[in-house]
Structure 1
Amino acid sequence: MTDDDAVALITGAASGIGAATALAFADAGWTVYATDVRPEFPDDVSERCRCLELDVTDAERCAAVVDRIFDEAGRLDCLVNNAGYAVAGPVEDVSTDAAREQFDVLVHGPHRLARAVLPLMRERGGRIVTVSSVLGQAASPGLGTYAAGKAAVESMTDALRIELADEPVHVALVEPAWVDTGFADGALDGLDAADRTPAYDRTYDALEDGWVVDGGPLAASPETVAASVLAAATDDPPRARYPVGPFAAFVRWTHWLPARVQDPIHRAFGRASAALGRWL
């Protein structure tokens, strides 16, 4: 699957992890269909990939893009579900509509695309790689609805992997913690001071001044995540999960701790990082 004929479809490829992943696959000799809801791609991506507009919340568009790839390339070896964004804020303060729209991208988007590619992949084999997050295993205060979406896509992917055990299609999850992209800026842009419940002042401090959203110095590079995505697409066989970096592995490990131990860790991290962020 590293030959020059291999074909990948990557969502959310106009920036951040998606753009880095598109370039990593291109470097490895793949034909890359880079897609995004915004059709403005970086020059290096547009020069080296076939760029298409794709809104993963649109089932007809998902099917049309997959059909186009098979018409043009005759195959699809790997689907990379990367499109996503975060709605930050305490669960009580996030509107149901905002949570639902986020969930539609994080969970229903990969579901739509899996349904579109599987009938065609089944004939010759392939991979479905979903970029999730360690927050799918261990939620953080202020990112509850985002973590809920990641937990849902992790469960769905686990079920899909088991259901496809006898098929020539492999499924894997890539689980970074924080990544040095514009993701945090987008999440924080949605915070509305007018809708804040005063009881969550410390949570908002951790979001805006701490490392809860961007990870500060703990953030990995997009290229590091892209390398894990490429490994998930080419390892034979792939692992079920690819935590990205030692801190992601540590966060996943805390999932096994009892809640009475986990909860203070999460609260203390937000408060300590907010204090450090203001001091630095």
Structure 2
Amino acid sequence: MKNNVVFITGASSGIGYSTAKILANNGYKVYGGGRRLDKLNSLKEFGVTPIKLDVTDNFSRNKAINQIIKKEGTIDGLINNAGYGSYGALENVSIEEAKKQMEVNVFGMIELTKLVLPYMRKQKYGKIINISSIGGKMVSYFGGWYHASKYSVEALSDALRMETKKFGIKVAIIEPGGIKTNWGMIAANQLINSSKNTVYQKEALKAGNGMKKQYNGNGLSSPNVVAKKILKAMNKKNPKTRYVMGTAAKPGVIMHALLPTKLFDFIMMHVS
């Protein structure tokens, strides 16, 4: 089976963990990257090899790829999953936090991709799957920098797909909607903390508590929903350019495309 050696980032929890598990259970040789090896060790029982990885650190990125190449001689699939959501009013979010958001969600993704491209090009095949979000097509209240990062993932993936087509490299984008992971709680806490004692505090507290309620409830999709789509993309010779899944994903994208902008803004500001 081609594309059998796969490296997935952000594999210690959520979508990354579920994807590493399902790929390993379906015959792929999976390497799972994350900052904390202790959180990755439970993947060993499924045949996944943990690798310590900080996507924002050049030494860590190179060491991880070199480790796989030394062991396998190739790398056939890269799933850029590592990322997080930093919410807060643009006036309140420090430029340091904004840069961190882009470093993790965008620049780390591209730098890691650049490391695997020569190997994929040499063998004339490979798959790169970038985890975006419906947040790469529409903007939620107080999510400016997070959405800027996901819009970037969308644009860069489109560019990469065209640039690498002649080398037999396929690029697909995964666009989840509401998925029950720790992502929502992290984003909500960041929103509330960044807005304390500011003119946005009241609205931010309401929006943040709304996010917490949503992510503590049972209305969101399981990470397995995303993992199954990634498996489908990996199994296909010619995967689709985009896969949309998860709670409210398709309705949200359709509403954004059809509704007047100001009406959509109103809805996003009052969904919580």
- Is the pair's TM-score, using the shorter chain for normalization, greater than 0.5? yes
Match of 1:99 in 2: 98
CA contact (8 A) 1:32 1:50 kept: yes
Q: Would you say 1:229 and 2:230 are equivalent positions?
A: yes
Give the Cα separation in 2 of the matches to 1:116 and 1:100: 22
TM-score between the two structures when normalised by the length of structure 1: 0.89
Q: Is the 8 A contact 1:8 1:76 kept in 2?
A: yes
Cα displacement (A) at 1:110: 0.9
C-alpha contact 1:31 1:49 (8 A) present in aligned 2: yes
Q: Which moved more, 1:206-215 or 1:217-226?
A: 206-215
Q: Which amino acid aligns with 1:68?
A: Q
* RMSD, aligned α-carbons: 2.1
Partners in 1 of 2:212 and 2:50 — Cα distance? 33
TM-score (norm 2): 0.91
Residues 213 and 136 from structure 1, CA distance in 2 versus in 1: closer, same or farther, beyond 3 angstroms?
farther
- The aligned counterpart of 1:278 is none
Spell out, residue by residue over 1:112-136, the C-alpha distance to the aligned partner (whole angstroms, 9 max, x if none): 1110000111122110001111011
* 1:174 matched residue in structure 2: 174
Please say if 1:32 is aligned against 2:30: yes
* Matched length: 268
Kept in 2, the 8 Å contact 1:140–1:212? The answer is no
Change (3 A) 1:250 1:187: same
- Give the stretch that moved more between structures: 128-137 or 42-51: 42-51
**Is the Cα contact below 8 Å between 1:21 and 1:229 reproduced in 2?**
yes
Query: Whole-Å Cα distance in 2 between the matches of residues 195 and 246 of structure 1?
Result: 30
Q: Give the whole-Å Cα distance in 2 for the aligned partners of 1:194 and 1:209.
A: 15
Of 103-112 and 88-97, the range deviating more from structure 2: 88-97
Percent pairwise identity: 33
Instruction: Give how far 1:139 is off.
Output: 0.7
* Deviating more after overlay: 191-200 vs 143-152: 191-200
Q: Could you say which residue in structure 2 is the equivalent of 1:197?
A: 198
Q: Write the letter of the residue equivalent to 1:29.
A: G
Amino acid corresponding to residue 145 of structure 1 in structure 2: W
Contact 1:103 1:149 in 2 (8 A): yes
5+ residue gaps, structure 1: 271-280
Aligned residue for 1:41, secondary structure, equals: helix
Cα deviation digits, residues 50-89 of structure 1 (max 9, x gap): 1010000012321221122111012211100011111122
> Which residue identity is paired with 1:50?
T
For residue 55 of structure 1, give the secondary structure of its aligned residue in structure 2.
coil
Q: What amino acid sits opposite 2:266 in the alignment? A: P
- 1:232-278 CA distance string (max 9 Å, x none): 222221111000136211222233233123212212313xxxxxxxx
Tell me how far apart the structure 2 counterparts of residues 70 and 185 of structure 1 sit (CA, whole Å). Answer: 36
Change (3 A) 1:145 1:249: same
CA distance in 1: counterparts of 2:158 and 2:213, whole angstroms = 27
Matched, 1:264 2:266: yes
5+ long unaligned stretches in structure 2:
none
Instruction: Name the residue aligned to 2:14.
Output: 16
Contact 1:138 1:254 in 2 (8 A): no
> Are 2:8 and 2:78, in contact at CA under 8 Å, matched by a contact in 1?
yes
